[in-house]
Amino acid sequence: MANNTQIKILGNTLWAKYIVLLLFLLFSKLASANGDSLNATSHALDFDTTQTLINNIKLNELDYLQNGDKLTQAFKISKDQNWEKLHLEAAALYAELLFRQEKYAALNTHLSYYLKNKELPNQKSVYLLFLESQLKSLARDANPAPAHTLATKLEESLQQHSSKEKIIILRALAYYYTDTDALKKTLNVALEGLELALKDDDSASQGYFFRKIADAYNYLNEKDKAIYYAKKAVAAYEQTQDGLFTAKAYWSLGNILLEIKKPKDALIYLDKALLYFKKANMQKGLTFAQYSIASIEYLQANYDKALTLTKENIELARSAGVHDMQLASLILLADIYIKLDLLDQANEANDEVFLKLDKFSRSIYKADF
Domains in the chain (CATH in brackets) are 282-369 (1.25.40.10)
Say which DSSP state 356 is in. T
- Asked whether 104 and 82 are in contact (CB, 8 A), the reply is no
- Asked whether 246 and 240 are in contact (CB, 8 A), the reply is yes
Local confidence band at 368 (pLDDT 50, 70, 90 cut-offs): low
Q: What is the CA radius of gyration of the chain?
A: 27
Average pLDDT over residues 170-186: 95
- Asked whether 269 and 248 are in contact (CB, 8 A), the reply is no
The CA distances from residue 160 to 119, 121, 164, 166, 365, in Å, are 19, 14, 12, 9, 36
Buried/exposed 247-271: b ≥16 CB within 10 Å, e otherwise: bbbbbbbbbbbbbeeebeebbebbe
Rounded to whole angstroms, the Cα distance separating 277 from 288 reads 10
Whole-model pTM over 0.85: no
Rounded to whole angstroms, the Cα distance separating 198 from 148 reads 28
Render pLDDT for 104-132 as a digit per residue (tens, 0 to 9): 999 999 999 999 999 999 999 999 999 99
Render pLDDT for 200-245 as a digit per residue (tens, 0 to 9): 999 999 999 999 999 999 999 999 999 999 999 999 999 999 999 9
